[in-house]
Structure 1
Amino acid sequence: MTHPPMDPLRDPVESGLGALGLDPALADPLLAYLSLLQRWNATYNLTAIRDPRQMVTLHLLDSLAMQPHVAGLGSLADLGSGPGLPGIPLAIACPGLRVTLVESNGKKARFLREALRHLHLGNARVAESRAEALDEPGAYQAITARALATLADILVVGGHLLAPGGRLLAMKGARPDAEIAALPPGWQVEAIHPLRVPGLAAERHLVVVARGN
């Protein structure tokens, strides 16, 4: 197999995958995705992060840190997916997971469709829509969002997408106690998992929110 033309990043990607307990063979599609993102970013400004090594840590490995918590799921909606984070890295790492990339911005949705075509990611699709307007009630076992603001905001716009027993898997930095205290009625925190992102000194937590009994 011909390696993607980003070999200087191969070592940090493979090292990060090893630290996360993931298959080093995932490096090829991840590097192909990163290469495409860099090319499009030069024209369309899809992400403020420009340095390729920072992209490895803050985009790829940060997204993949939550992989153990989605590996057994069947469906995930990535709300406000932007350039496909965390949805595309998770779709690459979990071929049995059906991922919907929900993105209302036209240029970002175009990039997402090109990325799925380029990567032959048959387990992912793009929904060019605002999350609150996506008419797929109860269709997903989990929703996630990196770019949206608070836990309450995510649930307001995307809670309708969750199947009975579904979960919000929210990537956060420091433990968001104020956001947890402001959860809408009927929702409760099920778990808070500290995450370790290789190469990143900052705190990361995955907050799992479910409907209350």
Structure 2
Amino acid sequence: MIDKDRLAQKCSTWNIQLTGAQLDQLDRYARLLVDYNQKVNLTAITDPEGIEDKHFLDSLLFASQPEVTGRMVDVGAGAGFPGIVAKIYRPDLALTLMEPTGKRVDFLRFVCETLGLEGVEFAKERAEEAARKVWREQFDLASARAVAALPVLAEYCLPLVKVGGCFVAMKGASAAQELAAAQGAIRKLGGEYRETRDFHLPGGDARSLVVVRKISRTPTAYPRNGGKIAKAPLK
């Protein structure tokens, strides 16, 4: 379905090297996504080059960062971006796909089984509820893409990260504005902003990776329940 040579060429621009087996897995993933999307709403992007750029390359730019290692949770995993792509690129990654919607969890499980991906956990949970259970401060890395604005996202993700770990938010053109609004929340939740890494996808779309280090334990008052997080984001 996808043009594997075209994707490999685009990846080489950022020194991202994919094996033939990895390209085959991504091609199979794209086919599964488009087919499954006919019965479960997973993505509005179904054309081959759109999938290559806006799903796969976008996720690979994340997956190639040095913070992507150890035990990772993809919060609001949706159709598996960036989590499943990161697992394909870094097979040694211990991945938890956290997604509250059962039909999407079924898809994620189906894809991982079909592609033969091992070492993947599936958590049918909302992040703010998961962080009050066994997953609190258990991960080296939390990531999220297209889930919420950064002040809200920080409260979803940072309580899941162990001290010394990282939260990396995948953002678009609004990254700087969202970061300015989230600085207070990040500090309250035990995080410290480190840097923003900016990219442009082949079509010109801006992408930013906002890197936050967890420097102290999240106070027990956080995360609050989902309604409070959404209505009154931390400042």
Instruction: Assess same fold via TM > 0.5.
Output: yes
Relative to 1, partners in 2 of residues 1:190 and 1:127: Cα closer, same or farther, differing over 3 Å?
Answer: same
Give the deviation of 1:205 after TM superposition. Answer: 1.1
Q: What TM-score, normalized to structure 1?
A: 0.89
Go from structure 1 to structure 2 and tell me whether the alpha carbon gap of 1:65 and 1:72 turns closer, same or farther (over 3 Å shift): closer
Q: Could you give the per-residue CA deviations for residues 8-55 of structure 1, whole angstroms, max 9, x where no partner exists?
A: 522322223333321242211111111111110112121111222211
Distance in 2 separating the partners of 1:132 and 1:208: 20
Alpha-carbon distance in structure 2 between the residues aligned to 1:33 and 1:140: 26
What is the CA-CA distance between 1:81 and the residue it aligns to?
0.6
Query: 1:76, CA displacement in angstroms?
Result: 1.1
Task: Let me know the Cα RMSD of the aligned residues.
Answer: 1.8
1:23 aligns with 2:18: yes
Q: Output aligned runs, 1:13-92, within 5 Å.
A: 13-21=7-15, 22-25=17-20, 26-70=22-66, 73-92=69-88
Gaps of 5+ in 1: 1-5
How far 1:70 moved relative to its partner?
4.5
Report the TM-score when normalising by structure 2: 0.81
- Spell out structure 1 runs of 4+ moving beyond 4 A: none
Instruction: Give the whole-Å Cα distance in 2 for the aligned partners of 1:98 and 1:195.
Output: 26
Question: How many aligned positions are there?
Answer: 206
Verify: 1:124 aligned to 2:123, yes or no.
no
Partner of 1:142: 141
8 A contact 2:169–2:211 mirrored in 1: yes
Q: Is the 8 A contact 1:71 1:94 kept in 2?
A: no
Distance 2:12 2:28 in 1: 18
Unaligned runs of 5+ in 2: 217-235
Percentage of identical aligned residues: 32
Separation in structure 2 between the aligned mates of residue 71 and residue 126 of structure 1, nearest angstrom:
21
- In the alignment, what sits opposite 1:3? none
CA contact (8 A) 2:164 2:215 kept: no
State the secondary structure of the residue aligned to 1:69. coil
User: Residue type of the partner of 2:45?
Assistant: I
2:166 matched residue in structure 1: 167
Q: Is the 8 A contact 2:68 2:141 kept in 1?
A: no
CA contact (8 A) 1:65 1:196 kept: no
Shift of 1:71: 6.3
Structure 1 residue 72, shift from structure 2 partner: 5.5
103, 106, 113: which one aligns with 2:102: 106
